[in-house]
Amino acid sequence: MITRKSRYEINLMKSAGSIVAEVHNTLKELIMPGVSTYELDEIAEKIILKNKAIPAFKGYHGYPATICASINEKVVHGIPSKETFLEEGDIISIDVGAVYKGMVGDSALTHPVGHITGELKQLLEVTNRALFDAIEKMVAGNRLYETVSAAIEDRANLHGYGIVKQYGGHGVGKAMHEDPFLYNFRTGDPGPELKTGMVIAIEPMFNLGTGAVHVLEDNWTVVTDDGRPSAHFEHTVHVSNDGPEILTL
């Protein structure tokens, strides 16, 4: 069932979202060659706890960390490790969620590590652009899949990127994953009608190669089948009376 949030709940989600944004802004300055993903995870957890919030990911279905740190061909759900160090030319997706007074904020950004190739720069720019294309469609009365999903698919197709189809966006609120599921491509179904009070985490994932992916033996880390890099961007977005409202800024 799709729930519509009250203004009070939206304000709590904005608070959760601002904590998530603080994590991203802090980690962005620390992402450089030689830094371990474990260090980034420790800092993220400290920021969330300092703000009297709870890491949304840690313990979720047994996930062991505060952030997902996915480097290069890792698409999502990369587990931070003391043995994993960033290298010049990498890209890293940081996905983080926080629970504040019972409401969730969830967002992801993909960052360059030092200097990256023009091909990777374009992948990051286009995936982020797809996110904002989709956000523009978060207007009451629109049908989710024929507008939001379509905007993401169109941006990927324009550049020939592979779309990850097994994973996508989702409703968010008191739980991290709520209805509806948001495909990053057209399904042939127009999807549910967007109504004020709905909140959805929109998260395009584009690959330089094909969209095919699989899960590693750790049962978490999703990687591209062809080993080519992937980018991932996400914001939590509210369908407000005044149009789309990003809650994770």
What CATH number should be reported for the domain holding residue 173? 3.90.230.10
Residue 34 placed within a domain: yes
The pair of three-digit structure tokens given for residue 57, joined into one six-digit string: 């990911």
The answer as to whether 76 is a domain residue is yes
Q: Does residue 92 belong to any structural domain of this protein?
A: yes
Is 206 domain-assigned? yes
What beta strand segments (E) does 2-55 contain? 54-55
Residue 2, domain member (yes or no): no
Which DSSP category does 219 fall into?
A: S
Is 59 a member of any domain?
A: yes
Domain count, the chain: 1
Q: Which domain holds residue 178?
A: 7-246
How many other β-carbons are positioned within 10 Å of the β-carbon of residue 169?
Answer: 28
pLDDT tens per residue across all 249 residues of the chain: 999 999 999 999 999 999 999 999 999 999 999 999 999 999 999 999 999 999 999 999 999 999 999 999 999 999 999 999 999 999 999 999 999 999 999 999 999 999 999 999 999 999 999 999 999 999 999 999 999 999 999 999 999 999 999 999 999 999 999 999 999 999 999 999 999 999 999 999 999 999 999 999 999 999 999 999 999 999 999 999 999 999 999
Nearest to 39 by CA among 65, 19, 63: 65
Assigned domain for 1 exists: no
Look up the pTM and report it.
0.97
The Cα–Cα gap between 17 and 10 comes to 10
Residue 205 lies in a domain: yes
